[in-house]
Structure 1
Amino acid sequence: MSKDAIISRTRAESVWDSGALVLRTIALPFRCVALVLITIGIIRITGMFTEEPSPKAWLFYTVLSNALCLVWVLLLVLSTIRDIAAFGTRGHSTPSARWSAAIMMAITVTMLVYIFVLVPSEFVQAGDYEAFSLTDNLIHVVTPLLLIVDWLLFVPKGQLRAADPIRWAFIPFGYLVLAFVYGALGGEFLEGSSYPYPFMNVVVYGNGGVALWIGGLSIGLMLIGYVYFTLDRLIAAISNRIGN
């Protein structure tokens, strides 16, 4: 048997290929559970089915990034179901490894800013918000971890590009632009507050102080992005070295 044939047979029998599991029977239930948990978190923080829903909760990056994850995970679930029906239970079911990483980074921003910036500042958000409550943990911790685990386990590695971590910053930066414009036009995130997060408060910090906050956070989060990129390359290299 030729070397290429041996490699092909090994890959066919392996549960791991391109740095990710190829078992859709594991990916599908995980993604279904993730979909349910993310949905519950969004419903709870927005009070969607209560007598007093909080539409202003949708103005916050936390809720918007969770909604982005909800749409993406729904797409993953549908893709996995489709691939099982069309190709069987073995293989990858991720429409785009690069988009998967981008959305993972978008929700990582939510988790890290929350833990290291918002909780210490006794931040208050519209909706059913209380630090480290069930709702709070779902949207700030559980959803990010679900997306990170999905990327680690089920997304093929080695497809990210060196400039991708910079591109990922477009999502939170896009939110910052919209939030500042909304506040400048008289919009309120909370009663009497024209900014969504404390580090964006130009009254307290001034334009220079807010710029320093955003610059510092941007550098820190971009470094995290390159940690993900390096991990992607490392896992891909290890996978290639062992033949799958």
Structure 2
Amino acid sequence: MPSRLWNGAIAALVVFGLVLQVVITVRAPALPPAHAVGTLSGAPLATRLVRVASFFTIQSNVLCAVVAAQLVRDPRRDGRIWRMVRLDALLGITITGIVYATVLARIHEPKGWEQTVSNAIFHYVVPIMTVAGWLLFGPRPRIDAATVARAAIWPLAWIVYTVVHGELSDWYPYPFVDVATHGYARVSVNAIGVLVVCVVVAAGYLVGDRRLPARS
């Protein structure tokens, strides 16, 4: 079945990318101590792994892998919680792909084949395949206003976690949440902007879910 093959490929790609990312993280030096935004080196291994898991990009890709794996088992998957997780995967990976391609790609320079490949998987291949898979195979309809509201919980939780973790560790995954540099007022404005973008993207998927042909 094409949808199972497509979603199986998404799940496999994310797992492969995560394996590469773990290898990169393990190889990163623990010394000297470093707290630069987005850096993995300069901390013990456990801390480096926490840093990896703190990236919105990584969390978005993991959500995509979870959803894709479930669709391999059951292409007609449904349920209130599943709808929320599916929409979070869609909005998260859409934002990941757009923001990286338009903003972060200019300042991020992968080094070595592991970084180059994992970067391409997380920021280009999985975003394109996930959105294309939704367009081609659905399942639809699966999104309503309540799902959009529930889907906002994860981005909000990520922002709160990022600020609290940054306050405790003096490390932030992205410049726009760097309280040490910008202060709480500016970061609060940035956070509101992120939530607004998430809701707008989710609303876009809601409209598409209602207007595109049903797929189940």
TM bracket, shorter-chain basis: 0.7 to 0.9
C-alpha change, 1:95 and 1:33, in structure 2 (3 Å) is same
Aligned length: 193
User: How large is the RMSD of aligned CA atoms in angstroms?
Assistant: 3.1
Task: Note the C-alpha offset of 1:49.
Answer: 9.7
Query: Secondary structure of 1:203's match?
Result: helix
Is the helix fraction higher in 1 or 2? 2
Residue 77, structure 1, aligned to residue 50, structure 2 = no
Asked whether the equivalents of residues 123 and 197 of structure 1 are also in contact (C-alpha less than 8 Å), the reply is no
Which of 198, 202, 206 pairs up with 2:179? 202
Percent identity between the aligned chains?
25
CA distance in 1, matches of 2:21, 2:97: 15
1:170 is matched with which residue: 139, 153, 171? Answer: 153
**Partner in structure 2 of residue 182 of structure 1:** 165
Equivalent runs, 1:1-244 vs 2, <5 Å: 25-47=1-23, 55=49, 56-79=51-74, 92-96=75-79, 98-99=83-84, 100-120=86-106, 122=107, 133-185=116-168, 187=169, 193-236=170-213
Q: Deviations over 1:178-235 (max 9, x none)?
A: 12111222x2xxxxx5211100112322222112222223223322221111111111
Shift of 1:114: 2.4
Shift in CA distance, 225/49, structure 1 to aligned 2, threshold 3 Å: closer
Q: Which amino acid in 2 is paired with 1:171?
A: W
Q: Is the 8 A contact 1:76 1:95 kept in 2?
A: no
Counterpart of 2:15, as a letter, is T
Distance 2:149 2:128 in 1: 21
For the 8 Å contact 1:165–1:222, the answer to whether it is kept is: yes
Q: Is the 8 A contact 2:10 2:64 kept in 1?
A: no
Give the TM-score normalised by structure 2. 0.74
Scaled by the length of structure 1, what TM-score is found? 0.67
- What is aligned with 2:31? none
CA distance in 2 between counterparts of 1:158 and 1:70 reads 20
Q: Structure 1 residues 170 and 116, CA, compared in 2 at 3 Å: closer, same or farther?
A: farther
SS in 2 for 1:95: coil
**1:37 touches 1:138 (CA, 8 Å); kept in 2?**
yes
User: What letter matches 2:167 in structure 1?
Assistant: A
Distance 1:118 1:173, change over 3 A: farther
Cα deviation, 1:32-64, whole Å, max 9, x if unaligned, reads 222221111111122179656752322222222
Distance 1:233 1:144, change over 3 A: same
* Residue type of the alignment partner of 2:62: A
Partner of 1:21: none
Unmatched tracts of structure 2, length 5 or more = 29-44
Larger radius of gyration: 1
1:142 aligned partner, one-letter code: V
